[in-house]
């Protein structure tokens, strides 16, 4: 059974600081996703990572994937208040007949002025 561990679960940081969220998974997977969720809202897709060594950047967020280590990171650069949200990684489980996603527990990010 695929397990996805995300840490930290809670992250409070000051504006302008850098930090990294980690996502470890237990079995081989074809792809990994990062999502953002604002309170009361659904998921917003941030990144899709498809191969070992993949790195994608959008604004102050950068995601990377190391399939050998089964590790993905979401790096936040010079945080701003607007980045406050819950961030989820999700790993595609292709072991069965359907390609379903297993989610991490999420990281609640609070960026303080």
Partner 1 sequence: GAVVSQHPSRVICKSGTSVKIECRSLDFQATTMFWYRQFPKQSLMLMATSNEGSKATYEQGVEKDKFLINHASLTLSTLTVTSAHPEDSSFYICSAEQGGNTEAFFGQGTRLTVV
Residues that bind partner 1 (CB under 8 A): 30-31, 33, 40-43, 45, 48, 88, 92, 94, 98-106, 108
DSSP 8-class letter at 39: T
> Measured from the CB of residue 48, what is the shortest distance to partner 1 in angstroms?
6
> Measured from the CB of residue 110, what is the shortest distance to partner 1 in angstroms?
13
* Cβ proximity to partner 1, 13 vs 108, nearer residue: 108
* Cβ proximity to partner 1, 5 vs 77, nearer residue: 5
Q: Cα-atom radius of gyration of the chain, to the nearest Å? A: 14
* Cβ proximity to partner 1, 61 vs 104, nearer residue: 104
Dihedral of alpha carbons 53, 23, 71, 77, sign = positive
> Measured from the CB of residue 18, what is the shortest distance to partner 1 in angstroms?
25
Structure-derived torsion over alpha carbons of residues 65, 46, 43, 16, reported in degrees to the nearest 10: 100
Q: What length does the chain have?
A: 113
């Amino acid at each position: 059974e695929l397990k996805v561990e995300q840490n930290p679960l809670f992250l409070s940081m000051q504006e302008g600081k850098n930090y990294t969220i980690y996502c470890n998974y237990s079995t081989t997977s074809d792809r990994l996703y990062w999502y953002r969720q604002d309170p009361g809202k659904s998921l917003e897709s941030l990144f899709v990572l498809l191969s070992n060594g993949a790195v994608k950047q959008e604004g102050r967020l950068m995601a990377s994937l190391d399939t050998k280590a089964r590790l993905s990171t979401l790096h936040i650069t010079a945080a701003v208040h607007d980045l406050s949200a819950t961030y989820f990684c999700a790993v595609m489980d292709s072991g069965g007949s359907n390609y379903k996603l297993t989610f991490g527990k999420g990281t609640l990010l609070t960026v303080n002025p």
